[in-house]
Chain A
Amino acid sequence: MLLTVVIFLPVLVAGVLLAARPPDRAAGWTWVTASAVELALIGWMWWRYDPGPGSTGVVDGIAYEVDLRWIPTVDAGYHIGVDGLSLPLLALTGVLFLACAIWSLREKNEPRTFAALFLFLQTACLGTFAALDLILFFVFFDLTIVGMYFIIAGWGHGNARRSALKFFIYTFVGSLALLVGFIGLFLGGEDRTFDMVALAENPPLADSPVAGGLVLLAIGLGLAVKTPLFPFHTWLPDAHTDAPAPGSAILAGVLLKLGTYGFVRIAMPILPEAWQRWAMVVVVLGVVSVLWGAFVALAQRDLKRMIAYTSVNHMGYVLLALGAAGLVGQADEEARTVATVGAVYQMVSHGLLTGALFLLSGVLWDRGRTYAFDRWGGLAGPAPVFAAAFAVAAFGSLGLPGLSGFVAEFQIFAGSLPGAPVATVLAITGILVSAGLFLLAIQRLLTGPLVVPTAAGADSDDGGVDPERGSAGHAREAATATLERTPTGTVTRMRDMRGPELAAVVPLLVLSVVLGLLPRALLDVIEPAATAVAQLVAR
């Protein structure tokens, strides 16, 4: 019951917001309050959750379980519950949506509808993570696409409509492949059911490798688009660049996790035989995504596109680890469990850090309407708090120990290497490239002489070069010159972060540090479930 309340409270508040039409400010605060209550409820669930010793989760030891009849003809039910895989992601969803609610307190454009859409999206995300029935999962999964489409199309900038459409169609086609896979699972099982727990207990298609492989292909394709994995990732940079900052934060922080979560929750426990057979392919896809994401990010000249490609890189690590967890013949259970733990930890860590990075890039958009690297420089001078926050998020994202990314990546590498040494060594070089690209970004944005975009050319999107100022050097000259003459209105003043911006970003970074230094709080929840996955996939 509590879980149902947690899932549907946001959409209820959204309905109230749309029906009662409160004033804009009240709408913003209602959203913040609703998200805070959500987070408190999830915190309560976490507090009460006891995974117990050994391996629990996925097929047993599910807490807050509700199982109601829904479409009895195909045995699809309203089956939800929480275990060590879903609880961390539910909590991450709660944290990120609260951060976005706080961030959006200053939203001027239709704040009521904006809040309602986000609340709707939150229900969809929570529902996907809590669902234990394939049809229910699919419904929530598709609703997230709808919600995000309207957020990008309505509140985005630049080429927002086109990017939103690309996002919608691409991920929607992916979800259709997912549906085909789910129907395959239904038809392949002996009990003819869509119930995930039942399917995981008694895996379908165990002795038909071809059918099992095809079903895994369909499911994998659908999830790979969402994750996204190379080569299905090109919707991501466009959608991110044109989305509003909170939209990007949710898209990268939560929506991408729906894909990776699907792999651990559905593909691995329900199709263990096929997963083992094709584990090496998953590993290779993961490594290619790692390197491709890192190198392409290095070449970007726009901050948001760069961060978007690092998501491809980070999700590649997750897939590497999950693939390695399926290499049953090559690695022992301990190593495969460590890899799985790392993968789930990476989902949470990436959500926090990339969420923070996208919100921080929103500061740049707010001040200067551009993300282009060559339009900014020396920001550590006028905006030291922004600089510090950006540096912490960047170092976290490049996997510096002391922040959550290290705990995840260390376990991913250590756990994957025994099974797939060559692939893992290649993937490890990815953290060097990400170190390079983040240090380069720090150097370009934060240090050196002060550069800020002038208001006149600021609206040109995707880093298009303003004809008036051909070179960055010229821009620098013009901007600093104007700054010295006290603002005349043509130049952006780089105000440091304040109020809601700080209140949204700083908790994310603090959480990342806490999870980097004291990981037990999260690991105690993840480890039993990861052990269960590593055992289930070895059947």
Chain B
Amino acid sequence: MTGTQIAAPGGSAVLGFLVLLPAVAGTLLLLLGRRADRAAGPLAVLVTLGTALLAAVVAAERPGLSVPFLGIVEGGDLRVAVDGLSAVLVVLVATVGLLVTVFAVTDLPAHGARARFFGYFLLFIAAMLATVTAATLPTLLLAWEVMGATSYALIGYRWQEHKKLDAGTRAFLTTRAGDLGLYVAAGAALAGTGTLVLADLPAADGGWRHLAAAGILAAALGKSAQLPFSAWLSGAMAGPSPVSALLHSATMVAAGGYLLLRTQPLLQASGWAATTTAWIGALTALVLGAVAVAQRDLKQLLAASTAAQIGFVVLAAGAGVIAGGTAQLVAHAAVKAALFVAAGAWLTALGTKQLSGLRGAARRYPGVGAAATVAGLALAGIPPLSLWATKDEILAGVDSAALRIVVLAAALLSAVYAGRMLAVVLSRPAGEEAFDEEGRGTRRVPALGTGVAGLLAVVAAGLGVLALPVVAEPVKRFLAAEGEPSPGAAEFLLSGSLAVLGLAVTVVLARVRPGLFGALQRGPLGAWVGLGRLLSPRPALAVARALAIVDDKVVDGAVRSVATAARRVAGALSRADRDVVDGAVRAVARGARRAGAAARRPQTGLLHQYYAQAAAGLALLFALLLLVR
């Protein structure tokens, strides 16, 4: 049924292994359960190492692979293919996956359900790898939703604590609300192009193209925690730190940004979708940037900043800056993974992730502290670090003046929240910090954790070379994005000085007026501007309860009343049967009996009476004869 694409056999096998290796290993760990707890960590490291090597091969060879799945229409198969964009993402996901797995091995408690954790972790990585290589809609949806489900399991890893699984449920439901868009997009693709091939979407005719674009946009915004879906990311911080380090840097939230970069031609072709995408990205960067400034919890700050930074990627997709968006995605992944690893290491060591408790944390553990400082400076957009370069790359492609102002304001906010975090962790410990709010800390940061954070920080800093045209041009060629505008020296200077200024002012303010941030924390920004309420399940539950009552009282009530009515009719008929029908029969019988009794009376046996009766009868007959004649 399905046309199997013939690719280089060796290459396509490698691509298959790339997805199957972590998937099979993860499933195996889950099936073995607690028996595999001891082996789980080392196995996961080996598997992710293998995956990273395979990813390098795949990125070089760029193979394709098709496995028969659905029939009838073209594109129903499970098809994965690697182009420039996919190659970058595959390497990114596999590398960050490897590093975070190493960190997880040291960070997770030794007696925990490690097989379950690493099982889902590997499955998640496999799903993300399939997402960034998917070439048909069934493939994309399969990988996309499995990623959502495994993230649910990972966020709710400590299911014994009720709130934790709740956060997972919320994350899954919010992202699935967006995912519905992908189902719509698949239908629209079938209607508009007659195929389910992802690359065919821009060619869809008329209204179907708009519907497909809207569906893809919804799915991407949900996954990337863009407005209005952002709140699930806050709850997702309930998950273990390695989960945050993986899900909220290079994967999951990145998947939405990736999908928009991938389908940029569709957005462009539909017109309105590109503009909408750009504005939603920019506004998310601005609003969530402000939210990040007002957090009291380091992981919450990082979560809000993740949504904000991915906002720049979304903006890039809307503005058609593929190279800049991809660079931002990669640089942010390195920066944020480093910061989440640091936050996780501090949480394990000190037992807290509150900013007040983390005062001077960077000085207590200088190795991780140095890495976090570099990554924090990159996050602020300080030159010559990575995010400074990538943001300008994106800004160069933005035409609208209003959009540019919003983006510059959002960039300034990045410097503010990064500055606030750095001011806290770098300040001198006062000695009165509240530790151990979330369980007893170990008071040590393992060397491997420091190593992982350091490596990520080096990448986060080093990607600043993207500012040099010598580097930027080959990158654009690799991504088949030649001709995209590059920022000039003036733009680099403007954004760089803005970031430095923002950072400096924040650090000074944090010293001089610490109460200012306290006031912000208590304000609506501290509570994620009520975005959580927007995703409340209450209305749905109320509708459900109302419908259940209608179902019982009205729908089933009608059935019951038919039954009751039938019984009543039966009773009435039974009475009628007894009184009317049978009554008539009995009346006839009674009449006959009476007539019989009456007929007996003339039989007296006296002859003269018989004569008299005969005479009377004859007279009656004669009278009758006279009358009728």
Asked if residues B191 and A335 are in contact (CB atoms below 8 Å), the reply is yes
**Which of B33, B186, B540, B559 is the one whose CB lies under 8 Å from A410?**
B186
Query: A415 an interface residue at 8 Å Cβ cutoff?
Result: yes
Asked if residues A234 and B551 are in contact (CB atoms below 8 Å), the reply is yes
- Residues of A contacting B545 with CB < 8 Å? 299
Asked if residues B70 and A413 are in contact (CB atoms below 8 Å), the reply is no
Query: B46 an interface residue at 8 Å Cβ cutoff?
Result: no
Measured in the bound complex, the distance between the Cα atoms of B558 and A234 in whole Å is: 10
Measured in the bound complex, the distance between the Cα atoms of B436 and A334 in whole Å is: 61
Q: How far is the CB of A432 from chain B (nearest CB, A)?
A: 6
Select the stretch in A19-27, A78-86, A351-359, A399-407 that faces chain B: A399-407
**Which residues of A217-269 have CB atoms within 8 Å of chain B's CB atoms?**
230-231, 233-235
Q: How far is the CB of A37 from chain B (nearest CB, A)?
A: 30
Measured in the bound complex, the distance between the Cα atoms of B187 and A418 in whole Å is: 6
Known A413-B186, A428-B184: A433·B70 in contact at CB below 8 Å: no
Against B, the Cβ 8 Å flags (1 = close, 0 = not) of A503-537 are 00000000000000001100110010001000000
Asked if residues B187 and A435 are in contact (CB atoms below 8 Å), the reply is no
Asked if residues B547 and A443 are in contact (CB atoms below 8 Å), the reply is no
- Residues of A contacting B162 with CB < 8 Å? 443, 447-449
Against A, the Cβ 8 Å flags (1 = close, 0 = not) of B529-564 are 000000001001101110110010001101100010
Asked if residues B141 and A334 are in contact (CB atoms below 8 Å), the reply is no
- Residues of A contacting B189 with CB < 8 Å? 414
Query: A126 an interface residue at 8 Å Cβ cutoff?
Result: no
Select the stretch in B165-173, B383-391, B400-408 that faces chain A: B165-173
Measured in the bound complex, the distance between the Cα atoms of B143 and A406 in whole Å is: 12
**Which of A234, A297, A413 is the one whose CB lies under 8 Å from B555?**
A234
Measured in the bound complex, the distance between the Cα atoms of B175 and A435 in whole Å is: 11
Asked if residues B183 and A428 are in contact (CB atoms below 8 Å), the reply is yes
**Which of B72, B165, B211 is the one whose CB lies under 8 Å from A447?**
B165
Count class of interface residues, chain A: 35 or more
Asked if residues A295 and B191 are in contact (CB atoms below 8 Å), the reply is no
Asked if residues A334 and B194 are in contact (CB atoms below 8 Å), the reply is yes
Q: How far is the CB of B31 from chain A (nearest CB, A)?
A: 9
Query: A381 an interface residue at 8 Å Cβ cutoff?
Result: yes
**Which residues of A406-423 have CB atoms within 8 Å of chain B's CB atoms?**
406-407, 409-411, 413-418, 421
Known A406-B142, A519-B69: A446·B159 in contact at CB below 8 Å: yes
Nearest neighbor of B543 in chain A, beta-carbon distance: A295
- Residues of A contacting B556 with CB < 8 Å? 234
Q: How far is the CB of B217 from chain A (nearest CB, A)?
A: 15
Query: B290 an interface residue at 8 Å Cβ cutoff?
Result: no
Known A418-B190, A435-B172: A380·B70 in contact at CB below 8 Å: no
Query: A456 an interface residue at 8 Å Cβ cutoff?
Result: no
Measured in the bound complex, the distance between the Cα atoms of B169 and A413 in whole Å is: 24
- Residues of A contacting B537 with CB < 8 Å? 436
Against A, the Cβ 8 Å flags (1 = close, 0 = not) of B15-33 are 0000000000000000001
Nearest neighbor of A523 in chain B, beta-carbon distance: B71
Asked if residues A298 and B544 are in contact (CB atoms below 8 Å), the reply is yes
Measured in the bound complex, the distance between the Cα atoms of B537 and A338 in whole Å is: 33
- Residues of A contacting B359 with CB < 8 Å? none
Known A338-B72, A416-B187: A435·B1 in contact at CB below 8 Å: no
**Which of A296, A436, A523 is the one whose CB lies under 8 Å from B70?**
A523
Asked if residues A296 and B190 are in contact (CB atoms below 8 Å), the reply is no
Query: A176 an interface residue at 8 Å Cβ cutoff?
Result: no
Query: A331 an interface residue at 8 Å Cβ cutoff?
Result: yes
Measured in the bound complex, the distance between the Cα atoms of B187 and A331 in whole Å is: 11
Query: A395 an interface residue at 8 Å Cβ cutoff?
Result: yes
Asked if residues A421 and B548 are in contact (CB atoms below 8 Å), the reply is no
Asked if residues A421 and B71 are in contact (CB atoms below 8 Å), the reply is no
Asked if residues B169 and A443 are in contact (CB atoms below 8 Å), the reply is yes
Asked if residues A410 and B183 are in contact (CB atoms below 8 Å), the reply is yes
Measured in the bound complex, the distance between the Cα atoms of B180 and A295 in whole Å is: 17
Asked if residues B191 and A331 are in contact (CB atoms below 8 Å), the reply is yes
**Which residue, of A292, A439, A449, has the highest number of chain B Cβ atoms within 10 A?**
A439
- Residues of B contacting A169 with CB < 8 Å? 563
- Residues of B contacting A523 with CB < 8 Å? 1, 70-71
- Residues of A contacting B172 with CB < 8 Å? 435, 439
Measured in the bound complex, the distance between the Cα atoms of B46 and A81 in whole Å is: 54
Asked if residues B548 and A296 are in contact (CB atoms below 8 Å), the reply is yes
Query: A50 an interface residue at 8 Å Cβ cutoff?
Result: no
Asked if residues A295 and B544 are in contact (CB atoms below 8 Å), the reply is yes
Query: A199 an interface residue at 8 Å Cβ cutoff?
Result: no
Query: A332 an interface residue at 8 Å Cβ cutoff?
Result: yes
Measured in the bound complex, the distance between the Cα atoms of B149 and A378 in whole Å is: 20
**3 smallest A-B Cβ distances: which pairs?**
A417-B187, A418-B191, A299-B548
A sample of 17 inter-chain contacts (CB < 8 A) reads A295-B540, A295-B548, A334-B73, A334-B190, A338-B70, A409-B183, A413-B184, A413-B187, A414-B189, A424-B187, A428-B184, A431-B183, A436-B173, A447-B159, A447-B165, A519-B69, A524-B71
Give 11 A-B pairs besides A295-B544, A338-B190 with Cβ atoms closer than 8 angstroms.
Answer: A334-B72, A337-B72, A400-B149, A401-B145, A415-B187, A417-B184, A417-B186, A424-B184, A428-B183, A436-B537, A520-B1
